[in-house]
Amino acid sequence: MFSANGAVAPAAYPPPVDPQKEFIKRGLDPEEELIEVGVAIVGGGTAGLACANRLLQLLAEDPETMERLGEVPVAVIEKAKTCGGHNLSGAVMRPGPLLELFPELTREQWREEGFAFGEVTKEAVYLTPTSKLAVRIPTPPPFKNHGNEVVSVSALARYQQREVEEAGAYVLTETSATQLIVEDGRVVGVRSGDKGRGKDGEPLSNFEPGTDIKARATVLAEGCWGHLTGTAIREFDLAKDREPQVWELGVKEVWKVPKPLDRLIHTMGPWPLKVAPKYGQIGGTWLYPMTNAAGEHLVSIGFVVELEYADATTSAHDLLQTFKTHSFVRRILDGGERIAWGAKALPGGGYWSMPKLSMPGALLVGDSGGMVDTMALKGVHHCIKSGILAAETIHSALARGESSFEAYEQAIEESSVGRELWEVRNARQPLQKGLLLGGPLSGVQQISKGRLPGRANWHRNDEKPMFIGDTKDEYVKPDGKYTFDKLSSVFITGNATRDDAPNHIRVRKQVPREIAETWRWMCPAGVYEIPEDAPEDGPVDVIVNYTNCVQCGAITAKGGRLTAPEGGDGPLYQIT
Ligand SMILES: Cc1cc2nc3c(=O)[nH]c(=O)nc-3n(C[C@H](O)[C@H](O)[C@H](O)COP(=O)(O)OP(=O)(O)OC[C@H]3O[C@@H](n4cnc5c(N)ncnc54)[C@H](O)[C@@H]3O)c2cc1C
Ligand code: SF4
């Protein structure tokens, strides 16, 4: 954990948390005190709702199984104020799985429903060697997006919520699932979190205790590994013989612009990242054109950085602000107005880092199962497909009166999810050596489309020794018009965390300055502060302003742990 020059890795300071002890409830409460449902889906994002959508389609044609699942055949448990409130993506989506899920809905109707913003007809990829120079390069295979659709996953989740509710699902919004309930080695449901506790956990006047939600099948659709997913992975040893998961962090804005952007753009840096391997920085940007149903021109712009970097002053938020000052980006945003901001982590390990996807009584779908191709920055269509396959597996097992969902593993492997992720299984790992060294190796892997044998390794992001470097010297000062600070950005997310809510972030209070600086710069919401009088060398007492947290999840990759906050807390994204 310590490098030759004494630099220290976040893994040397693990968060004070024992997931199996704290987040697993061994046994259900008495029958009269619990809620019983057929299938409990934790997470009302794209994946969880796709699972609910498909299950209700199947149950509508199978009244006998529907009847057996009781009064609430399908329940979706979502911690945001409404589905979509915590969802954020680029997002340019491969359309196949969504067309499969809603076969009667045309792409024109997607746009009328307000979650899709146009088909990609033109695209371009640039290198940005400096803040002034942008060099167009031939589009590398993973960046080919012709025919894909620009969507908002936040708006898509709202649409999916309306559909499942009409079909009879019970959607519990503002509800966090805080514990996995395990009985005799099988997941039998989840427990919802208490509401109305104060800073120190004390019950306030509006206190409501959580409830056990008993289910015949539980689907973990929490996104980018999650609170219960991480716990289940440990409890059932689902990551045995897999590569460790690695993470990326994306910060996104949506702009309303006077002139339409006529193409989809990706940039591959290196500016404003540093190219020298000691910084360990790999990242890129996107600019996606969007036209909404009212005919207004919007642009989705974002910066994604791998959380494998070593310079503690790396900040995805500040990198995005700086990137917006590049002359070609300024021209695109000129005269425009920022209407949304948000941040979210994504799992980057791909095929080899995917945990086992089933356990007795439960399944993992979407980002919870690590189903993202980060070479192409594509996960939305895998989320939908995995939700469909999970629903079909559960329905078929329950209809036959069986209790094993193991068939799901094979179904994923044989589907577009398994096939596409297999093709790029070794493509991203070489980039952990840096763009210059790893780029060509990664290119060979992409061209071979998975035909080269072997398994490339990942190492954990939190084992990377950190140093306090000079990436920060490049960051622009916010002007409040084109570039913004973290706090005014959090403000426009509609973050509604109570000032006296209990702290849901677990980190060591006292850490070396390198670690404290890592958290301070990394957190897009400005949660971590270093006191002004803290010593330059030696341990630092980190201040955690957890009520600003937008639940991006990045802290879990670099030495901390995001736990489930009180239901309803956090951002209320609309169009991210
Ligand atoms: C910056 C960025 C850019 C991306 N760009 C693209 C792109 O252009 N194209 C593409 O295809 N993919 C892209 N991806 C990947 C894609 O967005 C994800 O794969 C996908 O959105 C994940 O969907 P999900 O339903 O699995 O998870 P999420 O969308 O994260 O949904 C999980 C839901 O579960 C809820 N939840 C979590 N834990 C609990 C709990 N314990 N109790 C209750 N509720 C809970 C959350 O609030 C959330 O609503 C991008 C990802 C990021 C972060
Ligand atoms: S506190 Fe952690 S999870 Fe919350 S926004 Fe900051 S980095 Fe993300």
Q: Counting ligands in written order, which one lies closest to the CA of residue 554?
A: 2
pLDDT at residue 423 greater than cutoff 50: yes
CA of 87 to the centre of ligand 1 (A): 5
Q: Please state, in angstroms and rounded to a whole number, the distance separating the CA atoms of residues 364 and 350.
A: 15
Of 139, 133, 160, 216, nearest to 48 by C-alpha is: 160
76: which strand partners? 41, 171
pLDDT at 339: 98
pLDDT band of 3, cuts 50, 70, 90: very low
Residue at token pair 């995005």: 320
Burial class for 549, CB neighbours closer than 10 Å (0-12, 13-18, 19+): buried
**Contact by Cβ (8 Å): 57, 25:** no
Q: Which residues line ligand 1 (CB under 6 A)?
A: 42-48, 77-80, 86-93, 153, 176-177, 221-224, 226-228, 250, 252, 302, 304, 344, 346, 366-367, 372, 377-381, 383, 564
Percent above pLDDT 70 for the chain? 99
**CA pair distance 373, 552, nearest whole angstrom:** 19
Structure confidence by residue, pLDDT tens digits, 171-180: 999 999 999 9
Pocket mutation for ligand 2, best pick of 527, 547, 563 (most atoms within 8 Å of C-beta): 527
pLDDT at residue 442, as a whole number: 84
Q: Whose Cα sits closest to atom 52 in ligand 1?
A: 89
Model confidence at 35: pLDDT above 90: yes
From 74, 72, 75, select the one nearest 58 (Cα to Cα): 74
Q: Are the CB atoms for 15 and 560 separated by under 8 Å? A: yes
486 pLDDT band, cuts 50/70/90, is very high
CA-CA distance, 151 to 160, in Å (whole number)?
13
Predicted pLDDT of residue 2: 43
Give, using CA atoms, the residue closest to atom 7 of ligand 2.
523
Closest ligand 1 atom to residue 43 Cα is 34
pLDDT at residue 4 is higher than 50: no
Question: 401 CA distance to ligand 2 centroid (A)?
Answer: 42
Can you give the pLDDT at residue 450? Answer: 76
By most ligand atoms within 8 Å of CB, the mutation choice from 380, 573, 576 for ligand 1 is 380
Is the pLDDT at 74 greater than 90? The verdict is yes
What's residue 1's pLDDT? Answer: 41
Asked whether the predicted pLDDT for residue 525 surpasses 90, the reply is yes
CA of residue 46 to ligand 1 center, whole Å: 7
- Write down the pLDDT at residue 6: 57
Which pLDDT tens digit goes with each residue over 387-401? 999 999 999 999 999
pTM attached to this predicted model: 0.97
Report percent pLDDT > 90 for the chain. 90
Range of weakest confidence among 47-61, 66-80, 304-318, 424-438: 424-438
DSSP letters spanning 467-492? B--SGGGGPPPP-SSS---HHHHHHT
3-state helix/strand/coil string of 240-285: CCCCCCCEEEEEEEEEECCCCCCCEEEEEEECCCCCCHHHCCCEEE
Q: Quick one: which atom of ligand 2 is closest to the CA of 519?
A: 7
- Give helix then strand counts, H and E, for the chain: 15, 27
How many CA atoms, within 13 angstroms, populate the side-chain half-sphere of residue 128?
A: 26
Question: Which residue minimizes the CA distance to atom 2 of ligand 2?
Answer: 555
pLDDT, tens only, 426-479: 988 888 877 777 888 888 888 888 788 889 889 899 999 999 999 999 999 999
> Model confidence over 136-147: pLDDT tens digits?
999 998 999 999
Q: Tell me which residues have their CB closer than 6 angstroms to ligand 2.
A: 505, 523-525, 527, 549-555, 562
pLDDT digits 0-9 by tens, 178-207: 999 999 999 999 999 999 999 999 999 999
Q: Which pLDDT tens digit goes with each residue over 251-309?
A: 999 999 999 999 999 999 999 999 898 999 999 999 999 999 999 999 999 999 999 99
Mean pLDDT of the chain: 95
Reduced to 3 states, what is the DSSP secondary structure of residue 173? coil
Test site for ligand 2: of 545, 552, 556, 576, most ligand atoms within 8 A of the Cβ: 552
Question: How many whole angstroms separate alpha carbon 153 and alpha carbon 302?
Answer: 15
Task: Determine contact, residues 426/455, Cβ cutoff 8 Å.
Answer: yes
